[in-house]
Structure 1
Amino acid sequence: MPADLAVIGLGHHGLPLAQAAIAAGIDTIGFDTDPRAVAELAAGRPPVDGSLTASEIRRMLSGGFRPTTQPAELGRVRTAVICAPTPPGADRALDLTAVTDAARALAARLRPHTTVLLESPVPPGTTEGHLRDLLEAGSGLRAGRDFHLAYSPDRLDPGRRTHGYTGTPKVIGGLTPACTESAAAFYGRLTDKVVRARGPREAETVKLLETNFRHVNIALVNEMAVLCHEIGVDLWDVIRCAETKPFGFQAFRPGPGVGGHGVPVDTLGAHRPLRMVELASQVNERMPQYVVQRCTTLLNEHGKSARGARVLLLGVTYKPDLADRQAAPAAEIARRLMDLGAAVSFHDPHVLDWRVRDLPVPRADSLYEAASDADLTVLLQHHRTYDLQGLAVKAQLLLDTRGATPAGAAHRL
């Protein structure tokens, strides 16, 4: 059965796009090579990362959304959007394997006049180079003449309900002006504002800049957190005051590490490295170690050793109120504490089972009882369900890495 749109890759990029398309009345299929994930979605069950709820998935299905593992479906659509994951590889460069596989599956079935869009984070030049070559070689068609090709960076913030597809401007850059306008016509049905970039390289670099901006600024406040602790300054109060400035300042807050799917890119092949991004990555990667250092110091100050200490970790996801644990610092913090001989347990309302080094970490059922029994409780993620004032009273020792507790109620990062 033909459809208007195929979303290729049903992860945290693709599903929100499919949701927005269905809401806009666009007949949409979702293609993924993972049969289990597709079966779960078809049954109305939400993804494990919590990006969409079960009720949202059911509404999509009732609206006509069809998840599939059948690549033949890709040859029956007017628009195809590649939302494949591009995780960092061993050399820290983005791994384009999933994008390559998606492009090959699409190319074998690509029809003339189709609009092909890429939303996955990729190095600048990927759309008009690697992706174009794959599509043209596999289809015998020519991009910009026989089919439209454009890039649009994914800009959604998972879990943030205030900025959905409609309220988030969509940047697009096409291979040709006609490609750009075809992409604009599609995204104009989903969002209130479309921003035209000069070309696909500029659109790809928008994602690079936005991701690196986040990591560099988090690194700055992370370094400030270490410095302020050393000199006895309340950084959280400093940020509270600084963010009242109506210009030239945007508030970022420190934490135990930087999680999420957007990875900083500090080098692009043979091009010179972005030294500030490289340094920011080093700063942010040291934060789990710094958190463990603060843990051991607090325990020592209260006459306890890390060896044999009972440490309760609160919130092991990378974002508040989501189940997604992608690159969350909790795992490294747990490993380092275990290496010191601590007995680590955890609590997270969104995570029922958590494994570190392939071993199950005990989950606390009664939060207050566990905090009372633990020698040290560490808040790694501030979920809304946590009553931090109550926890501060119950916990023997509480380290707040998110600055969420009332001043004086806990030790803060």
Structure 2
Amino acid sequence: MRRHRHRAHRGRALVGSLTAIGLLGSVALVSGFAAEPAAAAKPRNVRLLDTITVPAGTTEFGMPFGGLSGIDYDRESGRYVALSDDRSENGKARFYTLRLPLDGAAFAGDKPVLDGLTVLDDTTGEPFAAKAVDPEAIRWTPDGDGLLWTSEGASSSGQPAFVREATTSGGYERELPLPNAYAPVRSASGTLTAGVRNNQALEGLTLSPDGSKVVTVTENALVQDGPAASLTAKSPSRLLVADRATGKPKAEHVYEVDPISDAPTAPLPPPVGTYSADRGVTEILAINETDYLTVERSFASGVGFAIRLYWTSSIGATNVNGKDALSGDEKPMRKKLLYDFTTSGTDADNVEGITWGPRLPDGSRSLVLVADDNFGFNGSVTKFHLLSVRSR
């Protein structure tokens, strides 16, 4: 095992795994990648197979192993990349390469096999300074020679969110521009009047099946578009489809986040000490050119997390590309609940990452989800969940 500048194996990651039978319907293939689907195939049968837990406080490669907020699978090497949301405070902003071997339809071990830790560089070529970044989502590039990742930034201090490309050794390559509507704007009194909300920005990232488009989704609505999710209100988040080569927006659609599942019943532990409840999209995963899986995370202090997995589609949804603000008349993306961890009786914890995994012995595809331990705050732990998914 190596620390810091681990060179990841080449792989096709997400885009290669999307050609799975039963999830894409009829597709054309170009150089091994899925092209435009002839028809959308909606996953219907999702089951939880196994969960492994890593205790909070675990240290690997001299830094805390925690805060895992994004994950992606390399089908060729069988390795995963997992991004920590450490704001360069507990350790440097970083990602891990790891393996999660399977034994049939279950994890083969009781912990991941870690292969390396790689520190991410800022535009300066040096590691990020403390609180200068908030990493959230990560995906391999189609050729396996690089990585795309997001930061939520910090709207409260004017730090913008971003989508960047990095080398597998963590070096800065380029930044994909976001539309002006996403930029934080503050009034003279300091009130946020437009742009992404603080800590509710780019939690989700995926690639189109052919790897030509980058797709992101905001955790909650842009300030000018509508309210954040509440106990009684949905939130109109934006799903953005951009050209990967140029970064130019190609389409935007409204994805409605459901209301918060539960009201808080107790305050958060010190030093916070306040009652807290929220809900948002924590990750997105492409099924084909129009359909996606989304993870919605609801939290209420004193209650815990409620994690739901949805199918959603841009077919028939209004294209709001270029709009500075929504009117409220837009037709949102269709969505359907696929799996609810709460009703299954499973404590999923703080799930923030999802990826297609290897094919299972019964022919179904696997999904691997990861839960962020918040570095031990409020009792959270790192969890890896293994699910199977079929379209029939």
Same fold (TM over 0.5): no
Larger radius of gyration between Structure 1 and Structure 2 = 1
Scaled to the shorter chain, the TM-score interval is under 0.3
Q: More helix by proportion, 1 or 2?
A: 1
Greater relative CO (CA pairs within 8 A, separation 6+): 2
Q: What TM-score, normalized to structure 2?
A: 0.26
Q: More strand by proportion, 1 or 2?
A: 2
